[in-house]
Structure formats: structure tokens, C-alpha cells
Structure 1
């Protein structure tokens, strides 16, 4: 028979419970990643370093929509890639927007950069209790795909994964540049890289996540535009939505028709469906809130960022696969 629970015992229990809770928080037992399966890889990058690179609103004020996480591409930053285009456009549509500054302007090992996505999704999910929608541009499609594959607990925390002009099966620029010493992420985007072979082995769209890819036949960087297509995803070529439309690699970041496809995916169950778009879907040259000066500034800014990115380490070998990715 259980001993009666007198008032002194209750006071002691409350104090002990509070002490345990404080200790648990101090030790990190209640951190966003606490639900991560023991069989998943531990994050190698210090949590404080990752947290300093995550940008989110102080308050998530739009419960009617899932929060959106934006992942930038090669040589860029969160601000240069998104803050003149998608970030304000999405905010104007009632979305809470988060972003990440990937390390070394995403010129380093994509495997390491993917840890930032893992942490960001866990933090946003913990803060909101809602699934996260991810939008990645260019190389920024690879980090979330890697994270979803090798940290599968994220598959229940992500609703939509939307890729804009992704080099998912390799890019000619990687093959060309890496004939000579090149930077780590470029070597990983070669068609025959160990990284892409590991990423694309097996299910390319794992879990219950809704995958949408958007590509353009007039992309000047992703010349083999079908590289952006994923088995199991809704793969959309922008010229099939708006015949004759010219959308380049950078202009995918502010094109009005592409933005309509993206918001269709965000606002419906499942991936994007061009058949749901309104009749005037091709009339908007630019995404909402984006003006011609914004588009020009964003385009010029990517060139400046490319120059800044030259400072990061060059090598002759692709980074070795992490042990967890070796078959």
C-alpha cells in the first residue's frame, strides 16, 4: 500500500520536480533535437555556432500557415538570396519566414552544412509545434534532402520540400570547374560525385514529405535542367506552366510564375499542382513586393557574392563521405 502523501511530502516533491526540470534544461535534455533517434548521426558542428546562423522572427505570429525555412545556394547568404525576393513576398502572404546562413557561403562540405538544416527544423518545430515547409534554391536543395535522408526524424517535422533549380543529379559547372582545384561543394555537385551517388541511392523523396521541384529550360547554369527532377516528386518545368517564359538561375528567386507554383504547394495538401493556378498565373513578372530595382539588386548581388566566395579553401579531392553515409 502506498504511503499517505502528506503536505511536507508534496512540498518536497514540487521542489525536487522543479530542480530536475531545471537540471534537464541545463543539460540540454529538452532541446529541440532531444527527440532525435539514437541511431541518427550526432551533429558535429557546435550547436551555438549553428544557432547563430539561424534567422527567425522573434514571435511566430501566423498560425494559419506552416513556418517556412529558406535555404540559399552556392556562394550566397540568406540575406542576399532571399531578403529582396521570397522572404518579403512570403511575409506579405501571411507566412512566418526563417532562414540560414550556411557555413563558408555554402562553399564547404555540404554534409556539414546539412547539419544546419537539421538544427533549424528542430528549433522551428519546437517553437511552433507545427511542421516546417522548406524552400531551397540551387545547392540549397541538397542540404535539406541530405538532412531528410540521414536524420529521418525530420520526415515527420517537414510538410513540404520545394526545390528551385536544384543540381540534384549533378551540374555541368561542377564538372567543368573541378577539372582544376575547386571548392568542396563544387566537387560534390559533379555528376559522378560520391556525395550525389549517396544522396540519390534508394528513395530520392523519403518519408511522407510532399516534394515539389521547379526548373527552367532557360536556366543558364543548370544547363541539363532535368537534373532538378526527383523520382517521386511533382516535377514542374516553368515553361510548361507559362510557354515561352524566360527564367534564369537567379531570376528563379523572384519570378512571379514560379512564386505562384511555390505558394500553391504551401497552401494545399500535397505537392504543387499547376492545374490549380489561376488563369492569370503568367501575368506577374515578379513575385509580390518585388520591384524591378529589387530584382536588379539581387542579380548584381549574386555576382558580388561569387567574388567573396573565392576566399574559401580550394582542393583537389571531394570531401570523404561521412561514416553514416558509407554503404
Structure 2
């Protein structure tokens, strides 16, 4: 299939599914479709620049007695509110939660419309400021005192900077992390290269050149100054927050995947729950096993059965 034909088909599907910009996102009387395949959903959603994921950002939503705390979705590196949350946004909306999602960390140097397509590129400190403003808007609109956080990848770190250094801790109740990296990553050996350096000091030069376009990249490395600050005091934990981590042993970007396992938090490896779940870093955010684990973490007093079925990398459970 040619690229032109593929994009035409994808655009048609996006229009039909209501995923492009301008499509309504208010909770429907009928349940919203919940896809459990990351790559096709993300590609289609990416065609709608600055679109909301289905079920999110209904600013008239009033939290129910059953789910009194709104959930804020925080996407991963190079993701955005639409591409990252095609599974969890409609799933949570169907469950009766008020769901809100933002795109943060856009590059001001990226040409339009790409500035809104790829998020998480800016300095994490600035992204946390954006999240702080967004959370305040959610709290004011919903009349609540706290939010629950559901983050993926970089979106598991940004909220904790907000909680630990921007006085966000009291505003967060439950903090559920998908593919977190509490100890940073050594993906593709980049942390090792940065630590050892290269001849003639090339590594800091490269980081310096990339920083205006991709400041968060070096911050997410295991031995970065940012990670040292995040773990100041010996732990990233902010008192009063209930943390749950959901990781996959097949994670190709959080290396080692055990970087997402932190003492003092609830830690779940999906392969310990279902041995035929082959979700990697991206598919984990569209994984039916992880979905049930997230719902149980948000509502531990009403746990549901966690399914076990074959889940393939990238394309998931078709």
C-alpha cells in the first residue's frame, strides 16, 4: 500500500471514529469504543492536530459520588494528549470518571502543525509548570481538592516534579504510572555514553546542540542531574500520595525496566499477571491487562478480574 493511500484511509477512519480535531469529546450515552491496539490508534489520532482523546476534557463534567476525583492523563515523550490516550481516556470515561488530558512540552522551534503533535520535548521543569496550571484549572472547574494522575513514560516523571518541587503534592491523591522510570534510563546505552564521554568531549557538545529542540532527553538518563534532584532525599516519593507502578519486562525504552520499580510504592509487572502479555513500552498504554490494573489502582475497594490474553508488541490485542 502506498503512503498516500495509507494516509487517505487513515484520515477516513479518523473521521468515521470522531478522532480528528473538532470532533465531540463529551461522554456519550452509549459506551465509547475502547481500542486495545496502540500503533493503529496512535497513527489515526495523530492526524487530528490538537484533538482531545475520546471522553476527555469535558469541562462541564461533575465528579460523581462513586468517582469523586477527576483523573488527569499525562502523556509520554513525543506523544500528545490524543495519540497517547486512545485507550485509557474512553475507558475511564465509560467507567464514570471525569477525565482530563493535556499536551505539554511542545517545542517552540517546531514548524506548525508539528509543535502540537509532538510533546514532552521541553525541559521537564517547564512541563511541570504547564501541568500545575492545568491541574489548577481542573480543580477549579470540577470543584474538587485533588486529582488522580495517570502517566506514561516521561508522563510518570513530570507530575512528580510538580508534586515534589512545585507544591503539587497535596493536590494529588492516587498516582498511577505506566512504564515509569524512577531511576532514569540507559536506552540504547545513551546513559553509558554520557557518563563515559567520548573523545574530544563530543557528548556534552551534542547534548548542547539538541537542548533547544529536545531538552528532556538528557534529563531522563539515569545519571542526569535532573534524576539526582528527583531522588534527593533518597527517594522520589512525596508523602501523602498513593503510588502504583505498572511495568513490562519487554520495555525497550526504560532500560532496565526495573527502573520503574520503586521501594515504598506498589509495583506490578504485567508478565507476573499474564505470561502471554508481550506489551512493550508503547503497547503497554493500550494493554487490556494494564487497563484492569489501572482501574483497580484507582478504585482498590472495588477490584475487578484482570484478564489474561495474548497481547502482541505495538499492535496489541486485535
Report the TM range for the smaller structure's normalisation. Answer: 0.5 to 0.7
Partner of 1:184: 215
Instruction: Give the drift of 1:245.
Output: 1.9
Partner of residue 212, structure 1: 244
2:162–2:169 Cα contact (<8 Å) kept: no
Partner of 2:307: 281
Return the match for 2:159 from 144, 158, 167.
144
Task: Mark the CA change 1:285 to 1:145 in structure 2 (over 3 Å): closer, same or farther.
Answer: same
* Contact 1:85–1:253 (CA under 8 A) maintained in structure 2: yes
Q: Which runs of 5+ in 2 are unaligned?
A: 1-49, 107-118, 195-202
Paired position in structure 1 for 2:226: 195
- CA contact 1:69–1:97 (8 Å) conserved in 2: yes
Answer whether contact 1:171 1:227 (CA < 8 A) is retained: yes
**What is the deviation of 1:132?**
0.7
Length-normalised TM-score, structure 2: 0.66
Q: Superposition pairs for residues 253-272 of structure 1, below 5 Å?
A: 253-268=285-300
2:125 alignment partner, one of 72, 95, 111: 111
Task: Compute the displacement of 1:284 (Å).
Answer: 8.1
The alpha-carbon deviation at position 141 of structure 1 amounts to 0.6
Deviation at 1:117, TM superposition (A): 1.6
User: Could you say which residue in structure 2 is the equivalent of 1:60?
Assistant: 61
- What is the CA-CA distance between 1:177 and the residue it aligns to? 8.0
CA radius of gyration, larger in: 1
Q: TM-score, normalised by structure 1?
A: 0.64
Q: How many residues align?
A: 231
Task: Between 91-100 and 176-185, report the one with greater CA deviation.
Answer: 176-185
Q: Does 1:91 align with 2:112?
A: no
- For residues 135-179 of structure 1, the C-alpha deviation after alignment (integer angstroms, 9 at most, x for no partner) is 110011111010000123x32221111111012211113527864
Partners of 2:74 and 2:156 within 8 A in 1:
yes
* Alignment partner, residue 169 of structure 1: 183
Residue 323 of structure 1: aligned partner:
none
CA-to-aligned-CA distance 1:48-107 (integer Å, 9 cap, x gap) = xxxx9997212113423121100011111111111x211111111111110111122111
Larger helix proportion of the pair: 1
CA deviation digits over 1:162-210, x for unaligned, max 9?
1110122111135278644343111101111010000011242212111
Q: Secondary structure at the match of 1:56?
A: coil
What's the C-alpha RMSD, in Å, of the aligned pairs?
Answer: 2.7
